[in-house]
Structure 1
Amino acid sequence: MINVQIEAIFIDRDGTIGGNEQVTYPRDFKLFPYVLNSIATLKKSGVLLFAFTNQPGISKGEVRLKSFEEELTGFGFDNIYLCPHQHFENCLCRKPSMLKMAAKEYQLDLKNCVVIGDRWTDLIAADEVGCFKILVKTGNGEEAYKKYHQKQFFGRWNQVHPDLVANDFNEAVNWLLSQK
């Protein structure tokens, strides 16, 4: 249970609000049913909504940053935190750095923020900065959840536990709204 007023919710893109377990570029990306309604309901509640996503296809020249910005802004996010780099580029903007950037920009206490994602890397990023962690079972979430229960994670991955597991984004949002 969340015992504080939520300041912001960071929402992963691929597999969390649409698409599948693979990265899908904006021209082909499809939201899951009712996600736009859930985003609109969260916005009405007054909480800040941020997209946070790693999109290495940008640095590979496969897609433009502007395409993601237009798409995510169109979904209703208040701001977008996007890393366009590949894993090996050793940039400073991958998860969890984007959570720290948002905290600085919006004067957020990250302990009063929520991360919703379908990958264990989303949960690790959230854990590193003290956010409430929600794993959704869409996208890669079902596989991550099975690995978690079968104790197939090692090291740091094994030390992170979701605060909530939801079947999908809409269930996560409904749960969050029920906590107010």
Structure 2
Amino acid sequence: MKIEAVFIDRDGTIGGTGHFIHPKDFSPFSFSRTALQMLKDNNIKIFACTNQHRISRGEATLDDFYKEFQSYEFDDAFICPHSPDDDCICHKPKPGMLLEASKKYKLDLTKTVFIGDVGSTDMMAAHSVGATKILVLTGWGYGSLNQYRKEWAEIEPDYVAEDLLDAIKWIISKNKE
């Protein structure tokens, strides 16, 4: 399968612990920039796909996040700024951000990959559009796979990766098959 794009969650996947960290204080994992560059070197588009409800509380702005993702050389960023209680169509696990990206970039979402650390949001959103699902064990990943597995028990990740670098190496190997 030729992979058209990779969606990547932010907190716990690119860096951090899974908890909100303002973009000015956020640090990616030591391997994250290398991993992202590997996708670019293989001509695979990379999109951030993240719930950031702290924007709705005034604790950060959309622009703060867009600038951050530009600094990591993402092709674009899809950010839900809403509270989980707002019942919007973009807050993962709803697929609104993925559908927006599909429309904007004319993507076949069944030829995309989603990398994230939370089964009940990232994996469920990816599953709902037929994307390949990679759960990383960083951030909330280990807990998501174990003590919170019941929340998304009907969905199996396509690959469980140690971290973002492991996930991207797997994607590149699959893309060459």
Same fold per TM (> 0.5)?
A: yes
1:176 positional shift? 1.2
Tell me how far apart the structure 1 counterparts of residues 18 and 33 of structure 2 sit (CA, whole Å): 20
1:107 positional shift? 0.9
Q: Which residue of 2 aligns with 1:72?
A: 69
Tell me how far apart the structure 2 counterparts of residues 46 and 91 of structure 1 sit (CA, whole Å): 32
Aligned residues: 172
Q: Which residue of 2 aligns with 1:107?
A: 106
Tell me how far apart the structure 2 counterparts of residues 62 and 108 of structure 1 sit (CA, whole Å): 32
1:92 positional shift? 2.4
The runs of 4+ residues in structure 1 deviating greater than 6 Å are: none
**Structure 2 residue identity aligned to 1:127:** H
The yes-or-no answer on 1:166 pairing with 2:166 is no
**Structure 2 residue identity aligned to 1:128:** S
Which region of structure 1 is more displaced relative to structure 2, 87-96 or 59-68? 87-96
Q: Structure 2: which 5+ residue stretches go unaligned?
A: none
Tell me how far apart the structure 1 counterparts of residues 147 and 128 of structure 2 sit (CA, whole Å): 20
Q: Which residue of 1 aligns with 2:51?
A: 54
Tell me how far apart the structure 1 counterparts of residues 32 and 170 of structure 2 sit (CA, whole Å): 14
Instruction: Provide, for residues 65-93 of structure 1, a one-character-per-residue CA deviation record: whole Å limited to 9, x for no partner.
Output: 11111001110100000000000111222
Q: Structure 1: which 5+ residue stretches go unaligned?
A: none
Tell me how far apart the structure 2 counterparts of residues 77 and 164 of structure 1 sit (CA, whole Å): 22
Cα RMSD (Å):
1.1
Tell me how far apart the structure 2 counterparts of residues 100 and 147 of structure 1 sit (CA, whole Å): 30
